[in-house]
Amino acid sequence: MTPLLSVRDLKVHFPIRKGFFRGEIRNVKAVDGVTFDIAPGESLALVGESGCGKSTLGAAVLGMQVPTSGTISFAGEAVRHGESATRTRLSRDIQTVFQDPVAALNPKMSVGDSIAEPLAIHGVGDAKSRAERVAELLRLVGLHPQHAERRPNAFSGGQRQRIVIARALALQPKLLILDEPVSALDVSIRSQILNLLLDLQKRFGLSYLFISHDLSVVRHFADRVAVMYLGKLVETGPTDTVFARPVHPYTEALLSAVPLPDPVLQRTRKRIVLTGDLPSPANPPKGCAFVTRCPLAVDICRLDPPPLVQVGKAQQAACHLRAAAPAQEGLSA
Ligand SMILES: Nc1ncnc2c1ncn2[C@@H]1O[C@H](COP(=O)(O)OP(=O)(O)OP(=O)(O)O)[C@@H](O)[C@H]1O
Ligand SMILES: [Mg+2]
């Protein structure tokens, strides 16, 4: 099956000026050679610490951030950044839901006008049919059609995120980029919003790129997971497999902090605490990006970046010690 989204060796580097008189130009390697696919109807969670490049990757997929190199294709067609035809198509087929629903909604516009805005921009329907669609969308996200008249400040955080989701669905997109969609919400309502998203996904066959640093949320939400570290993917695979048998030491450390549902297992679980700071993406380590914090690191890890290789039926990892590729074995011999 043709993937809905296909990303190949994507790099997004930001030039920054540093040093005396700011004469030295360095590149922040926010995304540094990322490859993955998302199938129609599939959800892929992108996880990793703050600053590892998740949002930059999302912005590139959305066509908002021009990549330094690499390719993105959507529904079999190459995404050419900067082309207005591409922007128009992507702006229908890919929608986003960000962390902060307050910032996402114009406080001066009625909720109905906000939800109808994408329809108006794309010239879909007339005022009457748009009002009907707004009522339908409000019902779909668990709100009342009468709510269309109100301003965003009349709603709670969770309700506002429902409104943002309604607006994201207005144009019947194929892919939603969900960038920490519940992180700003009260813990008690997070699962309601996540369940709504899961429900909508099933109903409309949506694909999700779900960006999160909260692995306990990812476990219940995503079909597959991609673990990102300093601009690179270090492990990918079906969520169940990666949670049960993480291969990369970084994935293992992240997962060791996630509480287990079984209290007996939880008591015996050992937490792996990573020491040292995340290196700067402007000056990443020469070999494996994780080498400065890896408890297993040996010489080869300081010299060569490990490639992402197959470690199971659908699982891949990038680690010299735990995921040796045949070519790499030759190198290290
Ligand atoms: N426009 C920019 N110019 C320079 N550097 C940037 C720019 N945008 C992002 N960066 C840098 O790129 C790196 C990745 O940032 P990004 O926002 O993608 O991380 P993130 O994984 O989404 O983090 P968080 O979990 O905190 O949202 C960071 O070091 C960030 O400072
Ligand atoms: Mg981010």
Which ligand 1 atom is the nearest neighbour of the CA of 213? 25
Name the residue among 301, 293, 292, 291 with its Cα closest to residue 321: 301
Residue 312 clears pLDDT 50, i.e. is over it: yes
Whether the CB of 142 sits within 6 Å of ligand 1: no
For the chain, give the mean pLDDT: 92
Q: Nearest 5°: phi and psi at 197? A: -65, -40
Q: Give the integer Cα–Cα distance in Å for 88 and 85.
A: 5
Q: List the beta bridge partners of residue 229.
A: 232
**In one letter, which amino acid is 330?**
G
Helix (H, G, I), strand (E, B) or coil at 128: helix
234-255 burial, b for 16+ CB within 10 Å, e for fewer? bbbbbbebbbeebbbbbbbbbb
Which of 13, 25, 54 for mutating ligand 1's site (highest number of atoms within 8 Å of CB)?
A: 54
Q: What string of DSSP letters covers 163-223?
A: HHHHHHHTT--SEEEEESTTTTS-HHHHHHHHHHHHHHHHHHT-EEEEEES-HHHHHHH-S
Q: How many helices (H) and strands (E) does the chain have?
A: 13, 12
Q: What is the pLDDT of residue 326?
A: 57
Whether the CB of 28 sits within 6 Å of ligand 1: yes
Cβ atoms within 10 A of the Cβ of 44, count?
21
Confidence bin at 328 (pLDDT 50/70/90): very low
Residue 187 clears pLDDT 80, i.e. is over it: yes
Whether the CB of 231 sits within 6 Å of ligand 1: no
Ligand found nearest the CA of 65: 1
Which of 10, 22, 47, 56 for mutating ligand 1's site (highest number of atoms within 8 Å of CB)?
A: 56
* CA-proximal residue: ligand 1, atom 28 (nearest): 51
Q: How many angstroms separate the alpha carbon of residue 60 from the centre of ligand 2?
A: 13
Residue 110 clears pLDDT 80, i.e. is over it: yes
Query: Angle at the Cα of 100 (from 59 to 201), degrees rounded to 5?
Result: 70
Which of 10, 12, 28, 29 for mutating ligand 1's site (highest number of atoms within 8 Å of CB)?
A: 28
pLDDT tens by residue, 214-253: 898 999 899 999 999 999 999 999 999 999 999 999 999 9
Whether the CB of 165 sits within 6 Å of ligand 1: no
Q: Give the integer Cα–Cα distance in Å for 242 and 238.
A: 6
Which ligand 1 atom is the nearest neighbour of the CA of 56? 18
Residue 333 clears pLDDT 70, i.e. is over it: no
Whether the CB of 50 sits within 6 Å of ligand 1: yes
**In one letter, which amino acid is 58?**
G
* CA-proximal residue: ligand 1, atom 17 (nearest): 55
**What residues does each domain of the chain span?**
245-333
Which ligand 1 atom is the nearest neighbour of the CA of 282? 29
Q: How many angstroms separate the alpha carbon of residue 152 from the centre of ligand 2?
A: 24
pTM score, whole prediction:
0.93
Residue 21 clears pLDDT 90, i.e. is over it: no
pLDDT tens by residue, 83-109: 777 777 788 999 999 999 999 999 999
- Rounded average pLDDT over 134-157: 97
Q: How many angstroms separate the alpha carbon of residue 133 from the centre of ligand 2?
A: 31
| Strand order through the sheet with 232-238 | 94-97, 175-179, 207-212, 43-47, 224-229, 232-238, 316-317, 309-310
Which ligand 1 atom is the nearest neighbour of the CA of 52? 21
- Rounded average pLDDT over 275-279: 83
Whether the CB of 54 sits within 6 Å of ligand 1: yes
